[in-house]
Structure 1
């Protein structure tokens, strides 16, 4: 019994320490209020370390995964099934939120008095797609602000390494070694995570905590519980599909460090290294996790789909427009999935999606600061759902590609090695 307790403590020690540091930071933020901002540099150090390492990490993990593939059909299967999973889960999230906001209208009784915003320029959808997928110069790839172009370049580079045959084998081996090096760097950086995240959260609560009790409280009361309900119920269902009861146990046993890190940093990109480590422990194949997770960090946003429906229905309420009808719902779902895809994986990246909502629905410019404020307040749980959704998506893609018994195979192989 004591041995079992020891094993449980050894396994959950880091999530417990991490969560404890977040709680301690929150308490400090509530006590010190605005003065807690003095702790922010300690949190910024952690974020900067993660942001610094994420670009080379994404490049080497994706390029090594693709370059190591002899069977290009498998690559096609991974990407095709990944997109299917992303779209289906995004649609489910959007439909769930439409039901919720019709039962609990988020803008009911809300009165907001904000100054006039500057004129929001209309978005050019064609230009936005080009800018989202490509950059104008190579140095721009080496930036976390251009993750989708970097991912596309990494896939293309790895594909070309694979296509040149035996001559590219040494490059592929080098990429695999580099991948291990960067993951080791991540594991070392994570020793600082309790201090960094505790300090970051103290500053966040100290600076913005009172706003959560202000005029947006009703929208938050609707959104926050739904996120946590979605996390436990929807992800239970997805992980059950991926691997039965064993899949559920494996998912929830490994996902909490990912959830806590994403909740504190509010960044899919900053959480990516932690997510890669968690899915490796789950037994997700290297090629699947190295492709699904980096792409998912910028293009799979269940939490953003939930928040987009909340924002749209909130704006309808503010401007006394009925959020009813099939046409309204269909357009809201399309916009929510689209805004989820164009979100970047960095804090505040939702501004693009919010501008998209304002312009496509023809809301006046005054709507932008209102919707941007909502976006900031819902960002922590939305990011958590986005990131942990990537984790379970990688399990679902594995189940589709490798079959129903993939998890039993992994457990058997692990026991043989031990």
Structure 2
């Protein structure tokens, strides 16, 4: 059974067990001894322990994941012929789409207010919010004076700047740099395996977290989580079919409908795997064979996009941040929202294309604006379903940026892009591979 099915089943089981515990606790049929056992040894005992351990494991992965992923990414970006106008256009477009994505998400969440009236869901945990610093101080504090101290304190913005600088320096250091780059690439593989190990336990974490929450909340929590789910889903769809269409038409003059039709196989594959990295071969083949993007562009924009273009993740972070702030009754203000946009945009560079890493990045964003990490437990139950959708959005953004950059560089076969009669049979084995 795949991880997706396991987590969906764990989510259903967690909700069911939580509802049963809630009904048993609220009914007067059982005695105090039974309800006490349920509360003390199950919901606030075993389930709570498992959930807390899983949240702690997510926090554990934040610093090493961001640091090593960014060093490897900036190394690849800075070496050889990849430096220049092509890289500049690609990175700029990816950052612009990510900033637009999280801005759209924040706007929708602020207007719809999915967490309004849900203050009770946060439980009795005491939390004293720290005042958000002014934007000028945030910008100054981006640049670290001591990277070790920044990593020890989990200051993600400083870690991002240090990693980008170190990656650039490694790519410019000749043979010593190549040896160091090889070390970090190997370390990155090890960390990705650690993330895989952690995600293998995700079903148990999801079950425990949902069972604990639903046991104390009942049916109302499901309805409220559904409201959060729908806000995130609406933002994802608006960004995919609205923002991307406008950008593609304005910057390249290409037909967005054609792009969406031809990217459908890759989008379905991304939805099923919930991993941008796993979808790279399919995305690359589809962009080259179906959209007509030259390999010299696609071979750079697609792998880079799988590393730094995480619009769907940014949307989830934006909605979740507003949701959690409303949940705990904490107003983060305009400076807080601007900090979220800046942090999530920069953090997208370090979000690896594997399932579940978006929750790790969400922990970073919440830390940056002084919101409690316990809020992750509330949104995590429906996150796996949303992860599948936002992965499809991410690879769609990769294809849009690839088409725009290729068109501007004269590296796009417009006839292939506009060929509405493209079929796998007519194009031989390559077409079959792209359509598979």
User: Which TM-score tier does this pair reach, normalised by the shorter chain?
Assistant: 0.5 to 0.7
Other structure's SS at 2:371 match: coil
Matches within 5 A, 1:287-306: 287-306=296-315
Q: How many residues align structurally?
A: 303
Matches within 5 A, 1:107-186: 107-110=115-118, 111-112=120-121, 122-125=153-156, 126-127=158-159, 138=182, 141-142=185-186, 145=189
In the alignment, which residue of structure 2 is the partner of 1:286?
Answer: 295
Could you tell me the TM-score, scaled by structure 2's length? 0.57
Q: Offset of 1:239 from its aligned partner?
A: 2.9
Instruction: For structure 2, list consecutive stretches of 5 or more residues without a partner in the other structure.
Output: 14-71, 127-151, 171-179, 193-202, 215-220, 429-436
Is the 8 Å Cα contact of residues 112 and 215 (structure 1) preserved in structure 2? no
In the alignment, which residue of structure 2 is the partner of 1:407?
Answer: 414
Measured against aligned partners, the alpha-carbon deviations of 1:378-417 in whole angstroms (never above 9, x if no partner) come to: 32222221111111110111122228x86259779xx9x9
Matches of 2:363 and 2:228, distance apart in 1: 19
Other structure's SS at 1:333 match: helix
* 2:91 pairs with 1:83: yes
Is the 8 Å Cα contact of residues 232 and 316 (structure 2) preserved in structure 1? yes
Which one of the candidate residues 253, 264, 278 is aligned to 2:261? 253
Which one of the candidate residues 100, 105, 126 is aligned to 1:97? 105
In the alignment, which residue of structure 2 is the partner of 1:362?
Answer: 370
Change in CA separation of 1:114 and 1:354 when aligned onto 2, cut-off 3 Å: farther
Q: Offset of 1:220 from its aligned partner?
A: 0.3
Q: Offset of 1:147 from its aligned partner?
A: 9.8
Q: Offset of 1:89 from its aligned partner?
A: 1.1
Change in CA separation of 1:83 and 1:147 when aligned onto 2, cut-off 3 Å: farther
Q: Offset of 1:145 from its aligned partner?
A: 4.5
Is the 8 Å Cα contact of residues 311 and 374 (structure 1) preserved in structure 2? no
Q: Offset of 1:113 from its aligned partner?
A: 5.0
Matches of 1:129 and 1:261, distance apart in 2: 33
Is the 8 Å Cα contact of residues 241 and 396 (structure 1) preserved in structure 2? no
Measured against aligned partners, the alpha-carbon deviations of 1:10-69 in whole angstroms (never above 9, x if no partner) come to: xxxxxxxxxxxx9xx98xx88xx76xxxxxxxxxxxxxxxxxxxxxxxx9xx99xx87xx
Matches within 5 A, 1:222-241: 222-241=231-250
Is the 8 Å Cα contact of residues 354 and 371 (structure 1) preserved in structure 2? no
Q: Offset of 1:375 from its aligned partner?
A: 4.7
In the alignment, which residue of structure 1 is the partner of 2:357?
Answer: 349
Q: Work out which of the two has the higher radius of gyration on C-alpha atoms and give 1 or 2.
A: 2
In the alignment, which residue of structure 2 is the partner of 1:392?
Answer: 400
CA RMSD, Structure 1 to Structure 2 (Å): 4.5
Measured against aligned partners, the alpha-carbon deviations of 1:91-135 in whole angstroms (never above 9, x if no partner) come to: 221222222112201212334256979xxx841334455568769
Q: Offset of 1:372 from its aligned partner?
A: 4.9
Matches of 1:115 and 1:266, distance apart in 2: 34
Change in CA separation of 1:372 and 1:334 when aligned onto 2, cut-off 3 Å: farther
Change in CA separation of 1:331 and 1:373 when aligned onto 2, cut-off 3 Å: farther
Is the 8 Å Cα contact of residues 242 and 398 (structure 1) preserved in structure 2? no
Could you tell me the TM-score, scaled by structure 1's length? 0.59
In the alignment, which residue of structure 2 is the partner of 1:268?
Answer: 276
